Structure 1
């Protein structure tokens, strides 16, 4: 990613460096002019230098402003580009891997890590200019008096050695701090997601505050204070070394090397000037190490091992006549650090085009896990999945997923309604569905967007059904859709909505506990402990009670 960004912003990096260098050159020129003014032989020489000084000052003001503006633009563009890259990468990550990573870690990455990387990259031009300024000034000082320059270089070299040791300690603290921030984001996610329970139960609220949130905040505070300690120590050490060098230069230059007064004055002026660039370089290491830790954190999430989100033009046409969706010997096991992780399979399953198939079973029997494998969210470790005559693998999995429209029990309700081509849907196109589901008096559609989604769970599921209708998929999968509906809409779901979808040639897979409606299914699968058995539909209805 870093190489891609540097290549993408090669031009802005170069221009920002060039103008920052010009600003630095003008600054050095001003110091040189001041030095010449101090040693001017006559008033006429001083007046001549004043005019040049004024022009250099105006040039530094204009070019300095433009270089800083370029750097600000570069920093903003870097943040935008990094977020865009991460957005594409996260969209391209398999759901199973994203679920394993954890939403709080992804959220921490797109906020904290993006800013850290952008900051470290945006200072590269000005870092390079300041470093070049230091080298340029050292070259000039070496030209004035090489023995005195060797004294200065030795002092700074020894100081830099200790500074490196301090910075390594600081980097370790930054790494620990970044790990603690993942926990902090998880804490705040819990605070928002569990707000109802925390408001109702005072004991749980007190426990969350005292035993979970506060210790986590204390850990973050401790790690941040440790990191700041080493960087503040490093900055102050750098300043102390500079003043130590300045004092020793005056002492050694006057009593040991015995350089001319003009040369010693030049060394003092340039050392005072170099405090700015050297101080900036030392402060920059903090941002550089933060960026390094952030990049390592992003790399650890493995977001860059997966393909980017496909463009709309790459979406392949769905099959119109596929006859049968089948799974043979399908097995899946959660990759958890347990002795006996939950698993399903081997499962044989099939549904014909235009059928309504029910899946029943007790809680924890593997129904929802199987559904996620069936629609391609989880990748089976064994077995075969086929749509028509096509075997599903990693090369055509997204094409396969495009045949489905799903409403899982933990669904997310999007505000925008899209048709099967990905275009926004207007009010007139879904008005009939809004009225059938008795949502027309509560919600409308403007510019393809639902005007309200903060409703009861049952009403939100009805809106999700409208989104599913609009997608016009070939296969629908509903996971306990009727569980949050009142008796009228539960009955409507089984007796009217599902038959309507079937009459349109749609294939419907329903996960349900509503045994009174099991006889309406074309076929039914019974799940138990991760395995599935096809039920005999000729048995009496009481069989499924």
Structure 2
């Protein structure tokens, strides 16, 4: 087992352990020394026969046992406090940085890996810390025992050191591939869980097409499960090889003391004492060996945390808004020769949007129409300042939207995306009048399904259309000057669709709000002030309707 720089660096850089490092190391070492010293007392008492069973020796043994228990408990409890506080700070740091990065950066990262880092990897470090402290204490005890053996017999000490070095060398060789096996097992389990998600969330499709479910089960879920099983077994076997090497070392050492040392050591009492020491250290030795896999896993988890933090540090981000603004002025928004590129333009791949010329004014309804893949959703993301344009300018009241003011600019908008996320409560709207929420639930026909209790919705177990209506309620309660809806009516029943176009949108316009809505419902185009038609990433035409 080599050094674990990622784990130790994490503790050093992200925790308050620097302030307590000396005391923690001292207490861990003290517990090991106390355990070793108590062994020496026992050995001395046994060696003296009946004359050694004295009250002072009993007091000394009791004192050493008390020191051992107190110092180890202190080291374990303080380590738990430090590690938990560290993990809380790490999660907070990652989440805060995550909140501020660009949408394009989030779209490029493995989100499952990110969530796993915040949950599983932090849990691994938490669980491993106790094993590492106990393992370190046992290592100190083993070192103390070795020096104690040296005081009894230099030859036995040399023999002990030689066998320990051989055991360490063999263990390192047997565990050389452990990290790669653990990573491969983790990857197989990720694929397994992803396949299970397909089965759970695609259950309707699987029931309709059994061949799809059979293929998913037989060729993916079972295969990935078998791979993960084989790799975990292989990993366990690697660990058992290391454990076997330590146990082999123990028996070889014991045999050497019993059968070889008497050939060079005359004093049988010394041989007896060394034998007691070897038997005594069997338990701490196994504890130390068992702590090594936990340290390997903790190191791997720490590397994942470091990689996420490095990615967040390198990701593009806007300057955070100083405070939530309620007095934002909106006279005009302009997209001037705005362009954006999906994918690699140099390789002739991807999809280009623009150049876009578009202006928005207060109190108008603008519909955006076009076929699938025409660039409507990308246009919305550019308008919202969520995508950074490749060229051109996004203007707000005549001034360019840049990273320093993008977060403030986005506060102009309330949005319901086509692939929206439905929150369980009204985050950021703590002062919302429950009566207003209940009124909207009634207007959108959700009052019998959903209750608003203690700032949260009673259920999100709704149909797609109902979920969109609940998302619309959240958007309306934000009271922003510009409202953006991406295919909101696509999943609504006839009544809700009619209400949306003929009642809600005109009502919002009358309140002075600007509406930007992506829609294919051409029968309602007369509701809009303008209809913008997109084709192949560009605005084909703009048509005034009133």
Specify the SS of the correspondent of 1:162: helix
Structure 1, 301-310 or 364-373: larger mean CA deviation: 301-310
How many angstroms apart in 1 are the aligned matches of 2:248 and 2:424?
Answer: 58
1:314 maps to 322
Across the aligned residues of Structure 1 and Structure 2, the Cα RMSD in angstroms comes to: 3.0
1:110 to 118, 138, 150: 118
Specify the SS of the correspondent of 1:526: strand
How many angstroms apart in 2 are the aligned matches of 1:310 and 1:133?
Answer: 53
Does 2:299 align with 1:292?
Answer: yes
The TM-score, its normalising length taken from structure 2, stands at 0.88
Structure 1, 238-247 or 90-99: larger mean CA deviation: 90-99
2:239 maps to 231
Does 2:141 align with 1:133?
Answer: yes
Specify the SS of the correspondent of 2:501: helix
How much has 1:339 moved relative to structure 2?
A: 5.4
Q: Does structure 2 conserve the Cα–Cα contact (< 8 Å) formed by 1:329 and 1:383?
A: yes
How many angstroms apart in 2 are the aligned matches of 1:426 and 1:109?
Answer: 38
How many angstroms apart in 2 are the aligned matches of 1:195 and 1:49?
Answer: 71
Does 2:99 align with 1:91?
Answer: yes
Does 2:517 align with 1:510?
Answer: yes
Change (3 A) 1:505 1:14: farther
Q: Does structure 2 conserve the Cα–Cα contact (< 8 Å) formed by 1:326 and 1:350?
A: yes
1:542 maps to none
Change (3 A) 1:44 1:98: closer
How many angstroms apart in 1 are the aligned matches of 2:435 and 2:419?
Answer: 29
The C-alpha deviation readout for 1:396-425, integer Å capped at 9, x for no partner, is 332222222111111111121246xx4252
Does 2:16 align with 1:8?
Answer: yes
State how many pairs are aligned.
536
1:369 to 372, 378, 381: 378
Does 2:146 align with 1:142?
Answer: no
1:537 to 531, 538, 544: 544
Change (3 A) 1:294 1:184: farther
How many angstroms apart in 2 are the aligned matches of 1:283 and 1:363?
Answer: 57
How many angstroms apart in 2 are the aligned matches of 1:204 and 1:52?
Answer: 72
1:392 to 398, 401, 412: 401
2:424 maps to 415
Alignment of 1:58-97 (within 5 A): 60-61=68-69, 64-65=72-73, 67-73=75-81, 76-77=84-85, 79-97=87-105
How much has 1:44 moved relative to structure 2?
A: 6.8
Change (3 A) 1:334 1:183: farther
How much has 1:51 moved relative to structure 2?
A: 4.4
Specify the SS of the correspondent of 2:228: helix
How many angstroms apart in 2 are the aligned matches of 1:223 and 1:82?
Answer: 30
Does 2:403 align with 1:382?
Answer: no
Gapped regions of structure 2 (runs ≥ 5) = 1-8
Structure 1, 330-339 or 171-180: larger mean CA deviation: 330-339
The TM-score, its normalising length taken from structure 1, stands at 0.89
How many angstroms apart in 2 are the aligned matches of 1:309 and 1:380?
Answer: 14
How much has 1:358 moved relative to structure 2?
A: 0.9
Does 2:415 align with 1:406?
Answer: yes
Specify the SS of the correspondent of 2:367: strand
Q: Does structure 2 conserve the Cα–Cα contact (< 8 Å) formed by 1:89 and 1:306?
A: no
Alignment of 1:268-283 (within 5 A): 268-283=275-290
How much has 1:9 moved relative to structure 2?
A: 4.2
Alignment of 1:199-278 (within 5 A): 199-256=207-264, 258=265, 260-278=267-285
How much has 1:367 moved relative to structure 2?
A: 0.7
How much has 1:303 moved relative to structure 2?
A: 4.2
The C-alpha deviation readout for 1:64-88, integer Å capped at 9, x for no partner, is 5555444555555555444444433
1:160 maps to 168
Gapped regions of structure 1 (runs ≥ 5) = 540-545
Change (3 A) 1:114 1:190: farther
Specify the SS of the correspondent of 2:175: helix
1:187 maps to 195
Change (3 A) 1:91 1:118: farther
How many angstroms apart in 1 are the aligned matches of 2:370 and 2:331?
Answer: 26
1:543 maps to none
How many angstroms apart in 2 are the aligned matches of 1:4 and 1:389?
Answer: 49
How much has 1:212 moved relative to structure 2?
A: 1.8
